[in-house]
């Protein structure tokens, strides 16, 4: 087994004892991302739509750092603080992942820092980039 850390290009402050992403045998595993400014460590509060966009932007940067795109993502786990915001979250999520969307689990969770959304992802590294 070959493991390699993938760092978020904007991360300047420690936000926990984890890697943003880990490459392992042709797969990229992305840790749960949320609406946190990685230059300051401060939560970027906003509507569920704004927090989802901010979170997906983090995922996109980690994917790019590993040579992937959103089209390479095969599975996401999404945590929402309030399941009543699911439809609004889902509308933003649907814009990001197209045309074959990843398999997904969405659950309601108590989230760190009072954030509204956290998403982790698994992507397959494209053949020419492994």
Structure letter (DSSP) for residue 7: -
pLDDT, tens digit, 9 for 90 and up, residues 91-130: 999 999 988 999 999 999 999 999 999 999 999 999 877 6
> Which of 51-55, 60-64, 94-98, 124-128 shows the lowest mean pLDDT across its residues?
124-128
Residues 6+ positions from 123 with CB-CB distance below 8 Å: 27, 28, 30, 63, 66, 68, 72, 73, 74
pTM of the full predicted structure? Answer: 0.94
**Angstrom distances, CA of residue 86 to CA of 3, 39, 82:** 34, 29, 8
Q: What share of the chain has pLDDT > 90, as a percent? A: 78
Question: How far apart (Å, rounded) are the C-alpha atoms in residues 126 and 122?
Answer: 13
Residue 86: enclosing H or E segment and its boundaries?
Answer: helix 86-96
DSSP string, 8-74: -TT--S--SSS-SEEEETTEEEEEEE-SEETTTTEE----HHHHHHHHHHHHHHHHHHTT--GGGEE
Residues 6+ positions from 103 with CB-CB distance below 8 Å: 74, 75, 76
pLDDT at 24: 95
pLDDT at 9 over 90: no
């Amino acid at each position: 087994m070959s493991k390699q850390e993938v760092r978020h290009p904007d991360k300047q402050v420690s936000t926990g004892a984890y890697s943003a992403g880990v490459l392992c045998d042709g797969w990229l595993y992305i840790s749960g991302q949320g609406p946190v400014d990685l230059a300051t460590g401060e939560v970027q509060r906003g509507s569920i739509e704004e927090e989802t966009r901010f979170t997906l932007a983090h995922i996109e940067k980690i994917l790019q750092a590993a040579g992937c795109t959103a089209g390479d993502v095969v599975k996401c786990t999404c945590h929402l603080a309030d399941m009543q915001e699911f439809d609004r979250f889902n509308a933003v999520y649907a814009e990001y992942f197209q045309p074959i969307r990843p398999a997904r689990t969405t659950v309601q969770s108590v989230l760190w820092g009072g954030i509204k959304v956290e998403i982790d992802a698994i992507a397959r590294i494209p053949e020419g980039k492994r």
